[in-house]
Structure 1
Amino acid sequence: MSTLNREQQLANLAAEYRARREALRRDLSQTRSADFAEQASERENDEVLNALLLETEQALIDVQHAQERLASGEYGCCKACGEDIQAARLEAMPLAELCIACAQKAEHA
């Protein structure tokens, strides 16, 4: 995939995560029910929404890091071993910082 296509792919991911973040924030800012039982359920839902919001914000940071690696020419290079990350892996996981072998090692560590 060309650099321009990667730039567009990462920009699209960033836009998707920003939209998700805004939707989660909207959901979290909604007024709550006056019913006590319903409030308990809403609080549980808020915990899930807050966890999703944190994940989304981390994903936005990961996209930014990928964009920085792309701009510096380091995109697609494994941060652990320095080898190229396989194109199929980058296609499936455009934010990948590790090759498959290093990711598996890190997973088992």
Structure 2
Amino acid sequence: MAVTIKKTVPAETQAEPVTTSPEANIPVETTTPDKPRKRNNHSRALDIQGIDLQTDQRLLMGHVLSFMKTTDTTLARWIDEGKFPEPDGKQGRRPFWFSATIRPHVQPSA
């Protein structure tokens, strides 16, 4: 005769029930993640304090994003549509513009 041992798990160690979406019966995450979302290699706006567009210098994608007050996706779309100039060159894999190139496109600060 085989003996079966049944373990009972205390209520505090049991997993919380997962709420599901009523439409598709898909589990829905109810908690927010603790870590910031990974950006999948998208460019971020960089600090532009101390950068003067009147002097000749190279500006990386993040600097241009800060001056234009836009995202990298929008900037790429503007370049494809011809509304913004293509990068003047690349520093490794990173595109750059000369300050004289973007100067006419930057909105004047109020």
TM-score normalised over the length of structure 1: 0.25
Work out which of the two has the higher radius of gyration on C-alpha atoms and give 1 or 2.
2
Larger relative helix fraction? 1
TM-score normalised over the length of structure 2: 0.25
Larger relative strand fraction? 2
Greater relative CO (CA pairs within 8 A, separation 6+): 1
